[in-house]
Structure 1
Amino acid sequence: MRQSAPHTVLFVVFPHIKLLDLAGPLQVFADAVAEPERDVYRIEVVSMDGRCIRTDTPVSIATAAMASWADAQIDTLIIVGGSGARAAALDPLVVDEVLRLTKKAARIASVCTGAFMLAACGLLDGRRAVTHWRSCDALLRAHPSVQVETDPIYVKDENIWTSAGVTAGIDMALAMVAEDLGRRACLSLARELVSFAVRPGGQSQFSTTLDRQMLDETGRFDSLHDWIASNLDRDLRVEALAARAGMSPRNFARSYTRQTGQTPAKAVEGLRVEAACRSLEESSQPVSEIAHQCGFGDDERMRRSFMRLLHVTPSDYRQRFALDRITAIGE
């Protein structure tokens, strides 16, 4: 990053953007500072005509016109998502204007359905890209030359970044700060923002924990799930879980399956795989040690679970998503 002048971050918005797609990453860059307490980013928000833009909330956003940046150098250009982004990607005049800006930008990105605009500009042809999971199929149908990935929260392919929906834009922005200022500055910023963790780009958009909570709408087994997650290396067969829940094994198994749509054994396996994924991403521990800590017993049992649930081996998963390999850049 240049030290003589602030790094320019330009957000491109369209009518009916999703507010958090803009506000989340914008706040990350607004709060980022370098030693000694120096603002390092200059942030601007632009639209086609420079008028106030309506969002998907009662809040409107003041903007400048894209044309005012036609001859300016842009360090980072971010296309914001929302229903308006997909509509704008079908307007040749808007696409041409955005394409003009991208030619001035060193780093180009999209949040959520902003990927449709980058694809319309031809910038994602032959590249890996991601968008909100609900829109991945639509992006692939509209742009078959894009290598759409349905799982990662963000992807970096050379200087082109794309992120999944909503809060994934925050993860992508934090990764950009890590690239610009270093991991220490990124972690410090995440703490200021009370972010739970700095997630690597390869982390899944889908959460086993959230899926389970959606299935168990009554929350009947929430405390049991919390206990399982904290005791993955223990005996978690049906008899042990039933005793913890204060039920007979037969009644527990029947009730649990009816309530959550999966057997207790499948739920335990999913929690163990999810925990193992985090360890593979964030640590350099041997696979065999992770397998033991997560309750698989040995690495062969963990390998079989990974193949069954993720269709990839633990070693391959680490090779692709380990944090020390991607250094928070989403590759």
Structure 2
Amino acid sequence: MDDRLVIVVGYDGIELIDLACVTSGFEHANRQGARPPYRVVFTTPAGRPVRSDTGLEVRGHAGLDRVDGRVDTLVVSGGLGHEAASRDPRLVGQVRRVAAVSRRVASVCTGATVLAAAGLLDGRRATTHWHYADALADRFPRVHVDPAPVYVRDGVVSTSGGVTAALDLTLAFVEEDHGAETARRVAMGMVTYLHRPGDQAQVSQFTGVPRPEQLLLRRVVDHVVGHLDDDLGAARLAALVDVSERHLSRLFARHVGRPPARYVRDARLEAASRMLVATSEPLTAVARRCGFASAESLRQAFVARFGLTPSRFRAEHTPRRATGR
């Protein structure tokens, strides 16, 4: 193969960041000496310019209908125009046709809607921008939609979460094709983290749930985040703000959307996952600092949440560092 042909699909209403993360990510890989290099072709319906969801017009290299022969990677962009694009039978049919001759197929953000309309996600686990996950699941019940991960790889088909998750998926492809060191250099060149693991949540619980406006509950949440290794049982938290456990549970349900015990567990798991990736602390220390009774308790919580042990999580998700001579 002289090069790796990457076909990127756009349409009216695409998200520019979705497009740029993919095209720039592969181009940066070429600058880092990727061999064979990537040849990225941005295609649009009939090869015409498309208008992004911010109003800027983007000119395509070619029409999607002109793509012929083997393709290395097919990537469908997301954007506010994804619903209209998924109901365009010509576009969907062309995506299905090109996917059949592609080594791997992917979507970024809401581009998953187009893949689903083409039948390419049937029976597969997939993700999309968390805001549109319910709509995708309702419209395409044969797709196993998981709104949490940054990206999902199911066989030859990959889907990524919202917007900048496109870069995480592109880095994963670069690492698969050219190794971890090339992906690391691409990430450094693009001044981004190398690279978020696919099963990391698109939205951290500390940013995904707004800090409660209710002052009493805010005190409880702030205490939990700042004292993970303390006694954070419901009785202790209720006593902290001088209310009953039942009243505290009602406040959590109304303002946070989960009971106190689950919020505490999620906070401890998120902190532990960050420590495992960012430090070399032994599991017993991570467990203790994050409020787990033992390393075994931490292990059980990780297996239940991530489907793998803390040791395996650390091994898979710790960024690889270059070794100097």
**TM-score category of the 2 structures, normalised to the smaller one:** 0.7 to 0.9
Matches for 1:156-235 after TM superposition, within 5 Å: 156-215=153-212, 232-233=228-229, 235=230
Q: Cα distance 1:217–1:91, how it changes in 2: closer, same or farther (>3 A)?
A: farther
Counterpart secondary structure, 1:137: helix
Aligned to 2:17: 20
Match of residue 322 from structure 2: none
Residue 138 of structure 1 aligns to a residue whose secondary structure is helix
User: 1:78-124 deviations in whole A, cap 9, x for unaligned?
Assistant: 00111322212112222112212112211110011111111122211
TM-score normalised to structure 2 length: 0.77
Q: Secondary structure at the match of 1:126?
A: coil
Question: What per-residue deviation string (whole Å, max 9, x for no partner) do you get for residues 228-270 of structure 1?
Answer: 56x755x4769xxx9xxxxxx649xx9xx98994699876654
Q: CA 1:165/1:36 → structure 2, altered by over 3 Å: closer, same or farther?
A: closer
State yes or no: 1:313 paired with 2:321: no
Q: Which amino acid counterpart does residue 125 of structure 1 have in structure 2?
A: D
TM-score of the aligned structures, taking structure 1 as reference length? 0.76
The verdict on how the C-alpha distance between 1:53 and 1:327 changes in structure 2, with shifts beyond 3 A counting, is: farther
Counterpart secondary structure, 1:172? helix
Match status 1:295 vs 2:291? yes
CA–CA distance in structure 2, aligned partners of residues 163 and 212 of structure 1: 21
Match of 1:67 in 2: 65
Q: Kindly provide the amino acid, as one letter, of the partner of residue 67 in structure 1.
A: D
Among 42, 45, 65, the alignment partner of 1:45 is 42
CA distance in 2, matches of 1:189, 1:164: 20
Question: What is the rounded CA distance, in whole Å, between the counterparts of 1:158 and 1:73 in structure 2?
Answer: 18
Q: Distance in 1 between matches of 2:110 and 2:155?
A: 20
> Equivalent residue of 1:83, what SS?
coil
- Report the counterpart of residue 132 of structure 2 in structure 1: 135
- The CA distance in 1 between the partners of 2:307 and 2:164, in whole Å, is 27
Which residue of the partner structure matches residue 99 of structure 1? 96
After TM superposition, the structure 1 = structure 2 runs for residues 210-289 of structure 1, keeping only pairs within 5 Å, are 210-215=207-212, 232-233=228-229, 235=230, 250=241, 261=255, 269-279=265-275, 287-289=283-285
Gaps of 5+ in 2: 320-325
Q: Is the deviation greater in 272-281 or in 55-64?
A: 272-281
The Cα shift of 1:6 comes to 2.4
Cα distance in structure 1, aligned partners of 2:207 and 2:104: 33
CA RMSD after TM alignment: 4.0
The alpha-carbon distance between structure 1 residues 114 and 36, as it changes in their structure 2 partners (threshold 3 A), is closer
The match for 1:245 is none
Count residues with an aligned counterpart.
307
Identity %: 36
Q: Tell me, in whole angstroms, the C-alpha distance in 1 between the residues paired with 2:127 and 2:306.
A: 23
